[in-house]
Amino acid sequence: MFCADNYIVDKKFFAQVKGFFDVNKMMVGLYTRHYALVKHDNSLNRYFSLIGGNDPVSFYLGKNDRLSYQYLDRPLFFDYLIFQNNVPSLGDNGCFYWRDKILKADLDHYYPMDCAVDLINKGHNRFIRLNFLAIWHRTTDGNLLTFLKRRYRYARDLYCDRDDRRWKMVSTTQDYWRLAYFIGCTLTIIPLLLFSIQGFSKVKDWAWFWHPIACWGFLLTYGYLACRNLLKYRSLSQLFSVQRA
């Protein structure tokens, strides 16, 4: 599954993918551990690559589809993962599946993360995560305000106003505690700055310091969306379907 804003930056990647599928018949899918970090990209895109996804809320919930660059030096070439709960947002940003497996998902009510949940619920829950910097996710042109407006429409139309979604960003008690932690960190700011400094000590890129600004932007955006849902649905439950892709 590939979106139009995904780019392959290493042509050896497809050979690696084929090799893993050839010898791992039991796995259902494969994706990469990190996004590629492209130096000439704009700083906001680099920030999203550095944290492993384009939503800091999803990052704090542990549901980004990629890992942060703080874990870049892990020595293993790949991880073998078995998902039960806390499924990350396995979307269309370069996630490979066996064709016969993905056809078992509810494609009449399609969305990439929902397909992953459908397969995991059917027992197809074994994934491989490659330590291979091959996929560049070009998320935005660098304008945070424009991006947040787009995220608001995206979350409203594809999550809050749909009742056929199976993947949930917030569903367990642990998720609620992590969401509260994100809100606390954002309001106090200091933990966000410490995270940026720690990230910068790992990978020398000033894009880490988008973190406090991005967290505040997403908190305000989703907060406004929560108020909208309370007025429209008299409930926050629809908001808790929101995720990043």
Per-residue confidence in pLDDT tens, the chain, 245 aa: 888 889 999 888 999 999 999 998 889 999 999 999 998 999 999 999 999 999 999 999 999 999 999 988 777 889 899 998 778 888 888 899 999 999 999 999 888 899 999 999 999 999 999 998 999 999 888 899 999 999 999 889 888 888 888 988 888 899 999 999 999 999 999 999 999 999 999 999 999 999 999 999 999 999 999 898 888 776 555 555 544 44
pLDDT of residue 168: 85
Give the pair of three-digit tokens for residue 138. 């070009």
d(CA 58, CA 3): 19
Angle ∠(203,206,209) on CA atoms, nearest 5: 105
For the chain, the C-alpha Rg in angstroms (whole number) is 18
DSSP strand pairing (78-82 vs 135-137): unpaired
Collapsing DSSP states into helix, strand and coil, what is residue 222? helix
**What is the pLDDT, as a whole number, of residue 233?**
72
Q: Is the dihedral of CA 219, 162, 170, 134 positive or negative?
A: negative
Sign of CA dihedral 61, 67, 72, 74: positive
Cβ partners under 8 Å of residue 92, min gap 6: 1, 2, 3, 6, 112, 245
> pLDDT at position 245, please?
41
Beta bridge partners of 79: 129
Q: What is the pTM of this model?
A: 0.90
Name the β-bridge partners of 135.
8
Tell me the C-alpha distance between 36 and 131, whole Å: 11
- Predicted confidence at residue 221, as pLDDT, reads 96
Q: What is the pLDDT of residue 231?
A: 84
CA atoms of 234 and 236, how far apart (whole Å): 7
